[in-house]
Amino acid sequence: MLKELIKDRSIVNRFIAEVRDAQVQQDPMRFRRNMERIGEVMAYELSRTMEYDTEQVTTPLGEAVVDVPREQPVLATILRAGLPLHQGLLNYFDRADSAFVSAYRKHRKGEEGFDIEVEYLSSPRIDDRVLVISDPMLATGRSMVLVHKALLRMGKPRALHVVSVIASTEGVEHVKAHLPAGTRIWVGAVDEEMTAQAYIVPGLGDAGDLAYGTKV
């Protein structure tokens, strides 16, 4: 399943417009907060797919019956760009466990191509859990697939969700082809084009640099 939120015409369209806007991007705090807000909307939408139990709650005036999520997911993100989006998800899934993976593009000397390197993994066990992997940009989709593979060292999840703000058509197709059947993909918007360097067009630029400053 692919859910492209911008097509539903909600307030998330404003947040996506601002993270794309070159003028608004000059304020890193605003950029991070918009990423966080998109993560909150994603968490709300994703929560509709989860399993629920009935719980009785005691109020000052009596008893109320409420359907509440049966469990909290494991929220995994790719360092460093994924941190604001992860925080938005965590704001709503506030009892969730977290996992962090370091994955980066290792460019080949003298060539346009690159390899994806996964260096660091910190995660709880994910056996029979709902796993959510977030990364603001789903360009080629290769990082997402490799991060999922790395997380499988910690067990096999019962359900898998992929969350991104901007995706390319190619990235979505790569994820569909290489992640388990039944994976749900949640994106803010899908762009058709990518450059030769695998940057999404129109995209928004380098999410990590815009959130935390240009890296050397």
Give the Cα separation of 179 and 173 in Å (integer).
10
User: What CA–CA distance (Å, rounded) separates 142 from 28?
Assistant: 27
pLDDT digits (tens, 9 = 90+) for 63-110: 999 999 999 999 999 988 999 999 999 999 999 999 999 876 655 555
Q: Give the pLDDT of residue 215.
A: 81
Tell me which residues of the chain have a pLDDT lower than 70: 104-116
C-alpha to C-alpha distance for 114 and 131, rounded to whole angstroms: 27
How far apart CA 74 and CA 201 sit, in angstroms, is: 31
Residue extents of the structural domains in the chain? 2-51+59-208
Say which amino acid occupies 3: K
**pTM, entire model:** 0.91
pLDDT of residue 177: 97
Residue appearing with tokens 């240009």: 214
HSE toward the beta carbon, residue 213, CA cutoff 13 A: 1
Pairing between strand 52-59 and 97-107?
Answer: unpaired
Class of domain 2-51+59-208: alpha beta
Distance of CA 29 to the CA centre of its chain: 19
Which of 42, 47, 98, 49 is CA-nearest to residue 74?
98
